[in-house]
Amino acid sequence: MNNTWWKSGEPWIWLTASAVTVSIVIVVGLLTLIAARGLGHFWASSVFEGEYHVAGAQPTRLIGEIREQVQVPASRLHDMGRKTDEKWVTRYLVKTGNRELVGLDFRWLVATDLQKVHYPENILAIERYEWGNFYGYLQAVKQDGELVGSGDAAWDELQQRLAHALQIHAQIQKIEKNEMGQINYALDRLRLAERRLEINHDKDPEKIAKIAEQRADYQRQFDTLRKQLTELYQEIKRDSITVKAMDDQEIEIDLAKIVRVYRPNNMTLFDKLQFYFVKLWEFVSDDPREANTEGGIFPAIFGTVLMVFIMSIFVTPFGVIAAVYLHEYAKQGFLTRTIRIAVNNLAGVPSIVYGVFGLGFFVYFVGSNIDLWFFPEALPSPTFGTGGILWASLTLAILTVPVVIVATEEGLSRIPSSIREGSLALGATKAETLWRTVLPMASPAIMTGLILAIARAAGEVAPLMLVGVVKLAPSLVLDMNYPFLHMERKFMHLGFHIYDVGFQSPNVEAARPLVYATAFLLVAVIVILNLSAIWIRNHLREKYKALETT
């Protein structure tokens, strides 16, 4: 009975199912952990006030958020000269903010030393463009140094003036990034055009006069915008608030430096939910600030998705053409077998090796020659002779092309020879048979290769560090300036963003939750890209299913 059961192969089915189940549970558990630690960062935590007692010192007054709670062996405290009868003690990771006053805005506290803890409703949490959060009590609102609100009326006055300041800040950002950015880009193109005339020894007075006229026109527009900016800066800098910190020191903060102000202890559940989704949207739609530990990661999302699309455009035709040649045209002999072995081995080469190849071949050789031939007016500043999204995409295309080749060849081998013979018998040429019959039927396998390529390329970091990714890109690769898609520009990437925030950040505690949130978002982006490709593959499979069964 037992021998029959083992010989039937059913135990191996159960073993395989168990392994798949365990793998799924591990993946789901990992994603749940990442999501809980990352997405919980955007919730409006309550802010406490209490006294911190340390033996041999006067109690200090603290204001902050409890971000993490851990149990540690009491022996650790003994090593620091602290005595306790307990085996385990609780420690809090507290965000006290106010970095300009106390240095670091995070500190570890022993729970038993934190006493008289309470949560006043009127404590402010202030998010700023620089220096992180500030916690304290609102004392007054001022305009040009003159008091315009204090006491209970100060909160309402602050809300009105902060809304106005944020509107002005949006106008300033629009002028500086969009309008002035377009003018600066146009002026730089005129400079290069003028330099091109000098290199070609072209002294045509009409061309020179046209460039001078365009430059003067752009300069007039720039001066007008600069005048508007001056007025806006004067208006946004007029308002400020006075806040009392935890050491009773009063600090004056300009509204121009504030992102938002809220009272977390006075917020209802609905208010906190609304705050949560606003912060979550800011995370996926805003630019980063504070060394990437605050704000959003939209440039990194945009750069990752665009790089994957460009990589797919390159890798698909090259991989398919190589597979078609190997399977349909090449004589099946020693050389073909050697090429297949080489392709399979390429899939196991470490990704950093591809990065070194991309740096040496694409950047230093191809890019430098492109600059020499087509952009001499920009030299010695490189255009394509430095890292950019084009070289990053090509490097990852080479890295993933073996996957596409293998998947496409498998798809081609599954197509019955009778299909090809029937097409040829009806008078079609071999090229027509491939284009109209074989490749459409192999398209699900091609999409499978592309899915695997996307899954690997989207998460790569090491080669990108050599061929184009940066910590902070001044502008997006795609914008409204001709030629709109700037393939020579450097870009941000979610994978590199995780590395930078997690290992290069000056504020480790502030960066930790963002590492989890960005990692979860990277997984989500990869899943969305893969699901899109899977949907296309399934559609193609259903479309050509009838042909495969005939």
Spatial separation of the C-alpha atoms in residues 153 and 242, rounded to whole Å: 14
Under a CB-based contact definition with an 8 Å cutoff, are residues 61 and 92 in contact?
Answer: no
- The closest of 440, 493, 499 to 470, measured between CA atoms, is 493
Domain edges within the chain: 48-137, 145-237, 298-549
How high is the pLDDT of residue 361? 94
Tell me if residue 124 falls in helix, strand or coil. strand
Under a CB-based contact definition with an 8 Å cutoff, are residues 438 and 412 in contact?
Answer: yes
Sequence-distant (≥ 6) Cβ neighbours of residue 415 within 8 angstroms: 438, 441, 442, 548
How high is the pLDDT of residue 277? 93
Under a CB-based contact definition with an 8 Å cutoff, are residues 477 and 493 in contact?
Answer: no
How high is the pLDDT of residue 38? 86
Residue 243 main-chain phi, psi, to 5 deg? -125, 135
How high is the pLDDT of residue 340? 83
* b/e burial code for range 159-194 (CB count within 10 A of at least 16 → b): eebbeebbebbeebeebeeebbbbbebbeeebebee
pLDDT tens by residue, the chain, 550 residues: 567 767 777 778 888 889 999 989 998 888 888 888 888 888 888 999 998 887 667 788 888 898 888 887 766 665 555 666 667 788 888 888 888 887 778 888 888 888 888 999 989 999 998 888 899 999 999 998 888 888 878 888 899 999 999 999 999 999 988 889 899 999 999 999 889 988 888 888 888 899 999 999 999 999 999 999 999 999 998 999 999 988 788 889 999 999 999 999 999 999 999 999 999 999 999 888 877 778 889 999 999 999 999 999 999 999 999 888 888 888 877 888 888 888 888 878 888 999 999 999 999 999 999 999 999 888 888 989 999 999 999 999 999 999 999 889 888 888 888 888 888 888 888 888 888 888 888 888 888 888 888 888 888 898 999 998 998 888 889 888 888 889 999 999 998 998 888 887 777 777 888 888 888 888 888 888 888 888 888 887 777 665 555 5
Tell me if residue 19 falls in helix, strand or coil. helix
How high is the pLDDT of residue 418? 83
Cis before residue 11, ω within 30 degrees of 0? no
How many CB atoms within 10 Å of residue 359? 20
* pLDDT tens column, 393-438: 999 999 999 999 988 988 888 888 888 888 888 888 888 888 888 8
How high is the pLDDT of residue 60? 84
How high is the pLDDT of residue 249? 86
Spatial separation of the C-alpha atoms in residues 527 and 515, rounded to whole Å: 18
Burial of 126 (0-12, 13-18, 19+ CB in 10 A): buried
Spatial separation of the C-alpha atoms in residues 200 and 193, rounded to whole Å: 11
How high is the pLDDT of residue 125? 92
Task: Report if pTM > 0.85.
Answer: yes
- The closest of 97, 108, 160 to 131, measured between CA atoms, is 97
Spatial separation of the C-alpha atoms in residues 486 and 83, rounded to whole Å: 63
- β-strands 60-73, 88-95 pairing: antiparallel
Question: The domain 298-549: what is its CATH number?
Answer: 1.10.3720.10
Under a CB-based contact definition with an 8 Å cutoff, are residues 69 and 138 in contact?
Answer: no
Query: What are the residues facing 251 on neighbouring strands?
Result: 243
- Token readout for 167 is 């509107």
The CA–CA distances, whole Å, from 99 to 135, 455, 547 equal 10, 40, 68
Spatial separation of the C-alpha atoms in residues 37 and 517, rounded to whole Å: 7
